[in-house]
Structure 1
Amino acid sequence: MLLRFLFVLACGLGVSASAMAATPSVLTTIKPVQLIAAAVLEGVAEPDVLLPPGASPHNYALRPSDRRRIVNADRLYWVGPDLERFLQQLLDSQLSARRLDEVPELTLRRFDDEHAEHSHDDHQAHESEPEHDEHEHEHEHEHEPGTLDPHIWLSVRNAQHIALWMATDLAEVYPEHGERLQRNAADFVQRLDHLHERQRQRLQPLADKPYFVFHDAYGYLQDSLGIHPRGVFTLSEEIQPGARHVNTLRQQLTAAGPTCVFREPQFPARRVESLTAGLPVRSAELDPLGMDITPDARGYETLLETLGDTLANCLEEL
């Protein structure tokens, strides 16, 4: 009886494993791409995400379990080597991997473009290069001039093109749901058109309000909304800046007058407080990766709404 029970159990487990193996899986490297995929896959499947909350796509260290998830994925969407540098060698030979920075009709920025690097046109307020000594370690700007700005998901138009392209690509994985995928993508595009118009109407009157960011990640969003920062502060969350560097940044803030400073979740709030102490500065947090957003059909819209509202709420108070 025991042998018969073990045989039946083994057969049952075999069927279960086969059924699980037959279920297609969609994996994205970062949360924003997962949010776009979730909108396209609504009612069909739930995409998974590789990077855990708080992890940087610039320098993530793959675990053995991550490698297994990559190999087993029926589709893996990543932005490209300008963002997820740690994946380039592995994904070059991965047939299921799709580079999103190669999707047709995207608008791509480079960090030596007119609106790239530290500022925009007449609002330029470049940092002076601080002198270094053995006790002061400054953080180099993470993006070299001429390289692709990989934050392509922060453009509404790019997100729309990616969604439409994903719908066609995912129809190969879910052929019985091709029409549903196309319909989901079309609905996503229409919703984003309405959201984009609302955000432009709110933010364009604030275009002359000064603000600074700590990460040169928002060029696509800023270009689409018609706003641009006075500067990008190149401080590292890991390295304490030297006194001369902090003084240079405070000089920029003083010259700007009442202004907004936007940090990111991984950047210590106390660093911003020490930098802005005694100045007429408002601070707020922007999260371009949407770490806390639920990956559902409206998740990408929530990401854009959160970013736009955070910008507008602070600038409107100046």
Structure 2
Amino acid sequence: MRLRVFFCLLCWLGLTPAQAAESPRVLTTIKPLQQIAAAVMHGIDNPGLLMEPGASPHTYALRPSDRLALAQAERIYWIGPELELFLEDILERQNNAVALLHVPKMAVREQLQSHNFQPEQKSTTSKQEHSDHHNHGSLDAHIWLSPTNARIVARKMAADLSELYPQQIDLLQSNLATFEQRLTAMDTALQARLAPLKDKPYFVFHDGYGYFEDYYGVRPWGIFSLSHEVQPGARHVNLLRQQLQTAGPSCVFTEPQFTPRLVNSLTQGLPVSIGVLDPLGDAIDIGPEGYALTIEAIAGTLADCLETL
């Protein structure tokens, strides 16, 4: 009877038994989490990815195959409803999902709440350890852009996955140590390159890089939109245009998941260089070095432009 129900479910979802058999034991929602999991699980198993490259967690709609993968996964790692709100109703009914934004000792920051801000205010954004008392959207969900938080995520995964892979505990811990060593080496190089660029003017597409900026001490001179759901009003657009004019030669960074029409309109006729930052690392491999390569790519794109000013 149970087998018949399973096949009926597959038919309703439009999937074959072979496709169902491919569902991973460990499922991550976004690419950076998959990269961290791949480093921790290297030589043990391959973590799956819910959202395909190019998709945005802000606008994602679940497919039938996604629902089956969620149902069959033994462990699901997501940021939390602050980022993947579309998963809240589904995952609150499952006891195998880990909302990483809310694990103990995670250093979190508040999301900017108003368009009326000055660039220097970003440097005073407070960090805090996770509290269970929070409102969706009040916390900055882009925790993976802090190498410190990436270490916390990796440690959580290594400890958590020991339940799924009890025979591989030593390898999980060895992989964790290798991951942390890799981040230390990366951090030394990036700190040295970014240190001379801290006062260079740049602008970003949305308020999504606060953890990276806090960690490396760089500050944007302006932000086009606080989030992908909140588009800037006319007053803010005029303010940004004035800031760009005042900055003179500067760098403006868009993202591959979103059309840069607003940026192109704002920068027309101004002495700015436009680059692309990819906070999700869509073009980066998921191997054990994938996470470090994603952070290095963000830092490299930022530095390549700022070094020309």
TM-score (norm 2): 0.82
Shift of 1:22: 11
CA deviations on 1:241-281 (whole Å, 9 max, x unpaired) are: 88776444221100111111000013334543332122111
201, 220, 233: which is aligned to 2:224?
Answer: 233
CA deviations on 1:82-104 (whole Å, 9 max, x unpaired) are: 01001111101112111111222
Are residue 40 (structure 1) and residue 31 (structure 2) matched?
no
Cα distance 1:98–1:212, how it changes in 2: closer, same or farther (>3 A)? same
Residue 13 of structure 1: aligned partner: none
Are residue 88 (structure 1) and residue 88 (structure 2) matched?
yes
238, 255, 259: which is aligned to 2:246?
Answer: 255
Secondary structure of 2:119's match? coil
**Any residues of structure 2 matched to 1:299-310 within 5 Å, and which?**
299-310=290-301
Q: Whole-Å Cα distance in 1 between the matches of residues 208 and 231 of structure 2? A: 21
205, 208, 212: which is aligned to 2:199?
Answer: 208
Q: Whole-Å Cα distance in 2 between the matches of residues 273 and 22 of structure 1? A: 43
Q: Count residues with an aligned counterpart.
A: 280
Q: Whole-Å Cα distance in 2 between the matches of residues 158 and 117 of structure 1? A: 26
Instruction: Specify the code of the residue in structure 1 equivalent to 2:42.
Output: E
Are residue 274 (structure 1) and residue 274 (structure 2) matched?
no
Cα distance 1:73–1:236, how it changes in 2: closer, same or farther (>3 A)? closer
Cα distance 1:211–1:74, how it changes in 2: closer, same or farther (>3 A)? same
Cα distance 1:235–1:149, how it changes in 2: closer, same or farther (>3 A)? closer
Bigger radius of gyration among the two: 1
The range that moved more, 215-224 or 249-258, is 249-258
- The answer as to whether partners of 2:36 and 2:291 remain within 8 angstroms in 1 is yes
Cα distance 1:189–1:235, how it changes in 2: closer, same or farther (>3 A)? closer
- The answer as to whether partners of 1:151 and 1:220 remain within 8 angstroms in 2 is yes
Instruction: Specify the code of the residue in structure 2 equivalent to 1:216.
Output: D
Consecutive aligned runs of 4 or more in structure 1 exceeding 6 Å deviation: 20-24, 235-244
**Any residues of structure 2 matched to 1:148-187 within 5 Å, and which?**
148-187=139-178
Secondary structure of 1:108's match? strand
- The answer as to whether partners of 1:117 and 1:145 remain within 8 angstroms in 2 is no
Shift of 1:119: 2.8
Residue 110 of structure 1: aligned partner: 110
Are residue 31 (structure 1) and residue 18 (structure 2) matched?
no
Instruction: Specify the code of the residue in structure 2 equivalent to 1:76.
Output: I
Residue 181 of structure 2: aligned partner: 190
- The answer as to whether partners of 1:118 and 1:232 remain within 8 angstroms in 2 is no
Q: Whole-Å Cα distance in 1 between the matches of residues 100 and 137 of structure 2? A: 19
Cα distance 1:276–1:226, how it changes in 2: closer, same or farther (>3 A)? same
Q: Whole-Å Cα distance in 1 between the matches of residues 271 and 24 of structure 2? A: 54
Instruction: Specify the code of the residue in structure 1 equivalent to 2:110.
Output: R
- The answer as to whether partners of 2:26 and 2:48 remain within 8 angstroms in 1 is yes
Secondary structure of 1:162's match? helix
Secondary structure of 1:165's match? helix
Q: Whole-Å Cα distance in 2 between the matches of residues 192 and 146 of structure 1? A: 29
Q: Whole-Å Cα distance in 1 between the matches of residues 202 and 37 of structure 2? A: 32
Residue 292 of structure 1: aligned partner: 283
Residue 13 of structure 2: aligned partner: none
- The answer as to whether partners of 2:278 and 2:298 remain within 8 angstroms in 1 is yes
Residue 77 of structure 1: aligned partner: 77
Instruction: Specify the code of the residue in structure 2 equivalent to 1:36.
Output: I
- Root-mean-square deviation over aligned CA pairs: 3.0
Q: Whole-Å Cα distance in 1 between the matches of residues 211 and 255 of structure 2? A: 17
Shift of 1:172: 0.6
Shift of 1:68: 0.8
Q: Whole-Å Cα distance in 2 between the matches of residues 247 and 104 of structure 1? A: 41
- The answer as to whether partners of 1:111 and 1:145 remain within 8 angstroms in 2 is no
Shift of 1:59: 2.9
- The answer as to whether partners of 1:203 and 1:312 remain within 8 angstroms in 2 is yes
Shift of 1:203: 0.6
Which ranges of structure 2 fall in alignment gaps of 5 or more residues? 1-16, 125-134
CA deviations on 1:182-232 (whole Å, 9 max, x unpaired) are: 110111011101111211111111111011001110000000001110111
Q: Whole-Å Cα distance in 1 between the matches of residues 21 and 238 of structure 2? A: 58
- The answer as to whether partners of 2:142 and 2:208 remain within 8 angstroms in 1 is yes
- The answer as to whether partners of 2:31 and 2:280 remain within 8 angstroms in 1 is yes
Residue 130 of structure 2: aligned partner: none
Shift of 1:24: 6.3
